[in-house]
Amino acid sequence: RGEARPLAPAADHAVYRIVQEGLTNAHKHAPGAPITVELRYEPDSLVVEVANAPVPDGTPPAPPAISGGQGLAGLGERARLVGGMVHSGPSPDGGFRLAGVLPYGDGASPAGREDATSVAAGRDVRGQIGAGAAGDGGADIERSDPKEYAAIMSSKKNVALGCALVSVVLVAGTVALLVWGVGKLIDEVEKGVIPAYVYEDARVGDAEAELREQFPEGDSLLTDGVEKQGPPLPEDAVCEHFVDDEEDIVYRFCFRDGKLTAKESYPHVV
């Protein structure tokens, strides 16, 4: 929404990570709920928001997730470094919202930029106080005030899209605004990430078939080229790579003769 404007590379990447984190958490904690992604190009900053409606009645509860609790906290730090901020909390309808405000240009932001934005006061996320350290999308709900958050994030009613099209920012040297289907992006996230416990529980010598039952099926854009970021691949082995569902960590699993012969983890460089 609004006229697209360029962001600094670091801010551009922060937008991508906010959308990725919001979709991952919504799919994990509110399976089956409609999800919307909104980008608003305000006069001096980009507002990105991922919101999900309440979980529909009769939907099976999501399995318990093991998390380092640093996903949203890490996003807040990314945004702070470029002069922006991230806010998460429940919405008045019982759903959940993750939103960020990222400045245009080089993102240089000294303290005290409360007067920089020309967004209406009721919609200026940067002018508000966050709900505290964010966790993995669950604990924040208890610590946030729905009325305060509604005042911060009030905007036109979002249409529940389900699997309809939404706008997503991708990095391609310069900022490009592409319209993707929510279903496709969630599918890409699912196929490329695993929880940390899958890696931690795996042991060298485990049966390949049993481990693969815990892996998502198909290739994902999230893991494209990540094998080159880690140590050299072992010879005569077939290796699979996934990204942690909360942190920028790559997990490598290498198999030979139907057994796990090696596993490694290393930073995910985007």
**Are residues 134 and 183 located together in one domain of the fold?**
yes
**Are residues 263 and 223 located together in one domain of the fold?**
yes
CATH code at position 254: 3.30.1450
Which among 4, 8, 13 has a CA at the least distance from the CA of 106? 8
**Are residues 183 and 202 located together in one domain of the fold?**
no
**Are residues 33 and 127 located together in one domain of the fold?**
yes
Q: What pLDDT, on the 0 to 100 scale, is given for residue 78? A: 84
Q: How many CB atoms lie within 10 A of CB 152?
A: 23
**Are residues 181 and 74 located together in one domain of the fold?**
yes
Domain that holds residue 240: 195-267
Which among 48, 39, 51, 44 has a CA at the least distance from the CA of 2? 39
Q: Judging by DSSP bridges, how do beta strands 238-244 and 193-194 pair with one another?
A: parallel
Helices (H), 104-176: 139-143, 146-153
For residue 3, tell me if it sits in a domain.
Answer: no
Q: What pLDDT, on the 0 to 100 scale, is given for residue 123? A: 42
Q: What's the number of domains the chain is made of? A: 2
Q: What pLDDT, on the 0 to 100 scale, is given for residue 114? A: 42
CATH code at position 142: 3.30.565
Q: What pLDDT, on the 0 to 100 scale, is given for residue 257? A: 94
**Are residues 183 and 55 located together in one domain of the fold?**
yes
**Are residues 166 and 240 located together in one domain of the fold?**
no
Per-residue pLDDT of the chain (270 residues; tens, 9 = 90+): 777 888 888 888 888 889 988 888 888 888 888 998 988 888 888 899 999 988 887 766 555 444 444 577 788 888 888 888 998 889 888 899 999 998 987 644 444 344 434 333 444 444 433 433 334 444 333 334 444 444 444 433 443 344 333 444 444 433 444 444 555 565 666 667 888 999 999 999 999 999 999 988 767 676 788 888 899 998 889 999 998 888 889 999 999 999 999 999 999 876
Domain end (from 130, 157, 188)? 188
The two structure tokens encoding residue 144: 């946030």
* DSSP 3-state of 252: strand
Domain end (from 160, 188, 216)? 188
Q: What's this model's pTM, rounded to 2 decimal places?
A: 0.42
**Are residues 217 and 127 located together in one domain of the fold?**
no
The two structure tokens encoding residue 14: 């922060």
**Are residues 80 and 146 located together in one domain of the fold?**
yes
**Are residues 166 and 237 located together in one domain of the fold?**
no
**Are residues 139 and 221 located together in one domain of the fold?**
no
Q: What pLDDT, on the 0 to 100 scale, is given for residue 193? A: 86
**Are residues 147 and 20 located together in one domain of the fold?**
yes
